[in-house]
Structure 1
């Protein structure tokens, strides 16, 4: 196979894992790297750092329909999810020991899933995993039915805005309205949704929402939790009392400013960018269906799917084999969440959607972003048939050598 691009410039279709920094973020951060100042210091340099952080906070709040006081800076999506899930659980349980139940969707990112399981194992939380349909959606009626029985003992609800693997967009506003009807706070991991679909914290009715800078064209290692002022939350970190006393630690001034710049850049023309990504997405879905008979698209089609997400299962193949063969051809994608890459187990998302384990292992995710082009789609289409053929042959040879799967 010939390489789609040079080793220095591969076809990068893994934007859902991390997207390249946008020039606006690079410029904003570069201007700060040569400055000094702790935002908690009272001298001039400290005040300058504080001003930059507060301006970034105001910018992020404006772009996401929140008040500046609701923006809590963190180290990324994982910390934001942990602070929301654990912090709200602890606060609600402290106020009423009967509130020990968490309602979470069965397709959550591991940052939420593992935090919930930790609370179950170490803090006595009772967990209800909300089922999804074959497209990966949680029904508002499912949530209503659970809360009708368990509202008095429920500490919080957590349901992601959009799925990181199959691109399913949840009916967040309707789900949040159901939670509010029962006076239960609801958190949403919106890491994949922000800059791909309109996100308005106030209009959503959510109590808490997580974002990560590196998914929107900003730097790695910084994120934010949007947390309503009236939502109780116990901090994970203790120290200087930063961020409303919810997240102690000196904030990364350059990172925060870079995140704000990237978010502002992305939301300024969100509709046109989403339309471009949708065209690329639909072109790839159509062409893969033509050149690889039997390929199965996972998740919904149309507006119910993230603009930049394509997720296929290739029966008879192992996802890791497909991934490495494409990588050798100069095409970078993923078998699913980068946070679980290398773990030899089928996707819990696909299993929750009703896909059997053997089939689920033969999946690939292609995710588009601001650097993606039609040429990238064409490169995948050109390489994929041979890649699938080789991966399928390797899979069949492996089964024969083992005498069949057990």
Structure 2
């Protein structure tokens, strides 16, 4: 049978509209910093994409700075910390944040059993993700938040940069069906960041270097298509498939724990643990059976250790090292979901038989 891709939170398949926009951009020869007609044409593609992303992300009036990834955008947005009373201050965050965020913050915020974070009173120095890539748990973002990783939420649930009045947020193209290697830092006007890549002063002086015109064009097209999917209710159908999957597993795998199920989650994400059955072993078994899934964040793949996110939620090391993440997408079918459930349950029975 054909392989089934169930790892959308790692990377979503490239959308046709994004591919078409990128192919068209390849024929635009100019450097976007050049003032001649060819340069202006390239610059026009960037600004069109910036407008598409602004519309899709509800970021009217904000500055959108293109980067090579959400990781670079996080480093740029968090570098040096926010300026409080003209002095730099460090961001606070919880252990559930992505590696790109947690490496730039103080880990002072607590996470409860449902994956929700207790936010301190001073939110302008807090970094808090909108949705977790491993569990899908959605946070209630306080107004005036200093920084938010909205990478997983953008395009899957209704969200807008303007709703929270956040100072900074990051998003990524390849999570919404755009190309890999393009991200963006979105900053509220009046907020500034210190450039880490200095040179020609591109991207309003915040990120120098000739822009990735082809990738940015694909990002813009993907953002517009993602917004249309939300408007059309595509992700409501995906949520139904996620629920079908979980019910099928719950009915027969009595020792399996669904992490974060007590909270509002992304419509496509299911994270579950069978204590003692290593997540990496499950991934390999499913890969051999023809299914692409993961044991957690793609940026942490290959690291044989307990999930930092699940551990932060209060689970023991045995459970935290036994998690599997299944993330669906608009192209996923009910037949594929049920076929995966059958394959996983067969492997789960073999695990328990060997352990007996």
Superposition TM-score tier, normalisation by shorter sequence: over 0.9
Q: Secondary structure at the match of 2:204?
A: helix
Does 2:324 align with 1:364? Answer: yes
Note closer, same or farther for the CA distance 1:27–1:349 as it changes in structure 2 (3 Å cut): same
The more displaced of 212-221 and 273-282 is 273-282
From 109, 115, 120, give the equivalent of 1:136: 115
Contact 1:103 1:156 in 2 (8 A): yes
Deviation at 1:187, TM superposition (A): 0.6
Contact 2:114 2:262 in 1 (8 A): no
Does 2:121 align with 1:92? Answer: no
Structure 2 match to 1:74:
67
Contact 1:316 1:392 in 2 (8 A): no
Alignment of 1:208-287 (within 5 A): 208-271=168-231, 272-287=233-248
Deviation at 1:101, TM superposition (A): 3.3
Contact 2:61 2:188 in 1 (8 A): no
Structure 2 match to 1:353:
313
Does 2:308 align with 1:331? Answer: no
Question: How far apart are the structure 2 equivalents of 1:217 and 1:198?
Answer: 17
Structure 2 match to 1:404:
none
Question: Which deviations, in whole Å up to 9, do the C-alpha atoms of 1:123-177 show, x marking residues without a partner?
Answer: xxxx2421111111113xx422xx3xxx8xxx721000100000000001xx2x2
Structure 2 match to 1:122:
none
Does 2:26 align with 1:33? Answer: yes
Question: How far apart are the structure 2 equivalents of 1:239 and 1:391?
Answer: 56
Contact 1:297 1:310 in 2 (8 A): yes
Q: Secondary structure at the match of 1:197?
A: coil
Question: Which deviations, in whole Å up to 9, do the C-alpha atoms of 1:295-344 show, x marking residues without a partner?
Answer: 11000357x11000001001221111111011000011000001001111
From 10, 23, 48, give the equivalent of 1:55: 48
From 141, 149, 152, give the equivalent of 1:189: 149
Alignment of 1:291-306 (within 5 A): 291-301=252-262, 304-306=264-266
| Higher share in helix | 1
Question: Which deviations, in whole Å up to 9, do the C-alpha atoms of 1:253-294 show, x marking residues without a partner?
Answer: 111111111110111130511201111111111111013221
Contact 2:91 2:104 in 1 (8 A): no
Note closer, same or farther for the CA distance 1:58–1:35 as it changes in structure 2 (3 Å cut): same
Structure 1 match to 2:275:
315
Question: How far apart are the structure 2 equivalents of 1:212 and 1:314?
Answer: 31
Unmatched segments (≥5 aa) in structure 1: 117-126, 398-406
Question: How far apart are the structure 1 equivalents of 2:85 and 2:201?
Answer: 20
Number of residue pairs matched by the alignment: 355
Note closer, same or farther for the CA distance 1:392–1:322 as it changes in structure 2 (3 Å cut): farther
Q: Secondary structure at the match of 2:91?
A: strand
Question: How far apart are the structure 2 equivalents of 1:383 and 1:391?
Answer: 13
Q: Secondary structure at the match of 1:206?
A: coil
Unmatched segments (≥5 aa) in structure 2: none
Question: How far apart are the structure 2 equivalents of 1:250 and 1:392?
Answer: 55
After superposition, the CA RMSD in angstroms is: 1.8
Higher gyration radius (CA): 1
TM-score w.r.t. length of structure 2: 0.95
Does 2:7 align with 1:14? Answer: yes
Does 2:130 align with 1:161? Answer: yes
Note closer, same or farther for the CA distance 1:44–1:143 as it changes in structure 2 (3 Å cut): same
Note closer, same or farther for the CA distance 1:228–1:266 as it changes in structure 2 (3 Å cut): same
TM-score w.r.t. length of structure 1: 0.84
Question: How far apart are the structure 2 equivalents of 1:343 and 1:393?
Answer: 27
Question: How far apart are the structure 1 equivalents of 2:5 and 2:117?
Answer: 31
Question: How far apart are the structure 2 equivalents of 1:27 and 1:75?
Answer: 20
Q: Secondary structure at the match of 1:311?
A: strand
Question: How far apart are the structure 2 equivalents of 1:266 and 1:16?
Answer: 14
Contact 1:58 1:68 in 2 (8 A): no
Deviation at 1:79, TM superposition (A): 0.7
Q: Secondary structure at the match of 2:324?
A: strand
Question: How far apart are the structure 1 equivalents of 2:349 and 2:292?
Answer: 18
Runs of 4+ aligned structure 1 residues displaced above 4 Å come to: none
